Amino acid sequence: MNAHVRLSGVRPLDKAAGRVELIHGAGGKAMAQLIEEIFARHFQMIGTGDDGAVLPSLGLNERLVMATDAHVVSPIFFPGGDIGMLSVFGTVNDVAVMGARPLWLAAAFILEEGFPLADLDRIAASMAKAAREANVAIVTGDTKVVEKGKGDGIFIITTGAGALPEGIAPTGAGAKPNDAVLVSGTMGDHGMAIMSARADMNGLEAGMGFVSSVVSDAAPLHDLIARLFAAGIEIHALRDPTRGGLGATVNEITFQSGVGMLLEEAAIPVLPEVAAACEFLGIDPFYLANEGKLVVVCPEAAADAALAVMRAHPLGKNAARIGTIGIVSDTRPLVELRTRLGGRLILDWLSGDPLPRIC
């Protein structure tokens, strides 16, 4: 998206029936037109043709936080969202769980020759809407086009920058024995929405019809997180359980912090339709991705206050305490799950991805 110029005497793009062509990624007039008529029309890009954006100073009491994420979700349109809004919210949340206030995004697009311009315009509009909702600006980016058959329609890479106030530093290495483990809502919604969309795309809707009501939970978490800090909640660790779901996230925290963890299966919220689908398919909902949920580790004494703050927010109405941090009871940090029947099992890392192309 390096070029950003006003073009005259050029026939407008046919967004209804037009297709991305190799020339749209070649750096010339066609690429400038694509950027001008689709990306620049939707985004608040800074500058008029530079290779980057000069951002305002953050001041002396704030540090800069950056995060980047690639988005390859399939299908690109799914119940509750699309690859565009996911690329915005995903990176906004990566910045926010560092304790920072998201401010700016850069977006890079890898497009396949033949991709419908109508879909590209729809995705750009969705990204712009998501950016407004998250109160961030998409200020710069890049566009590349690959030959037909060498891509899969569209991939989007977003990089986010935000301001981190002094005195705030949640980290995966911050969990301490006797801390409480909280989640902001139901687990596995996004993963099941993608599975349902794929089943429909592949003509398997008859077998997956009972989860057709599940929609992605993709949402920007920065406001919920800001309210936790504004309430004076001491947060030791903060994560959004995306790829690998809750299972991967809690294992990351125990590994980084060198502690154990005991979770209560009965306390972990899961939508009934997600639980039913997982049982039918033989999938553990704790390993399904989420795109609008938090895992919060805080001192025991702060747990009730943190839950009250989350439950007062639309994105945290189903918040729950799901476990406790303990000491390492083995040669390595372990996450144990106390089942509904009272037994214990290890909630371990997965060796592979149960659902690739999830985000």
Per-residue pLDDT of the chain (359 residues; tens, 9 = 90+): 444 444 555 688 999 999 989 888 765 678 778 888 898 888 877 654 555 566 666 777 888 889 989 999 999 999 999 999 999 999 999 999 999 999 999 999 999 999 999 999 999 999 999 999 999 999 999 999 999 999 999 999 999 999 988 888 888 889 999 999 999 999 999 999 998 888 776 655 544 555 568 999 999 999 999 999 999 999 999 999 998 899 989 999 998 899 999 999 999 999 999 999 898 888 899 999 999 999 999 999 999 999 999 999 999 999 999 999 997 666 678 999 999 999 999 998 876 666 778 88
DSSP labels, 149-187: TSS-SEEEEEEEEEEEETT----TT---TT-EEEESS-S
Q: Check residue 356 and give its pLDDT.
A: 79
**Euclidean distance between CA atoms 3 and 221, whole angstroms:** 32
**Euclidean distance between CA atoms 174 and 197, whole angstroms:** 37
* Residues pairing with 269 in the sheet: none
Find how far residue 133's CA is from the centre of its chain: 14
Give ∠ CA 13-15-18 in degrees, rounded to 5: 80
- Residues 335/251, Cβ–Cβ less than 8 Å: yes
pTM (predicted TM-score)? 0.87
How does pLDDT run across 157-209, given as a tens digit for each residue?
999 999 988 888 888 889 999 999 999 999 999 999 998 888 776 655 544 55
Say which residues have a Cβ less than 8 Å from residue 107's Cβ, sequence separation at least 6. 1, 39, 43, 87, 127, 138, 141, 156, 157, 158
Q: Is the preceding omega at residue 285 within 30 degrees of 0, hence cis?
A: no
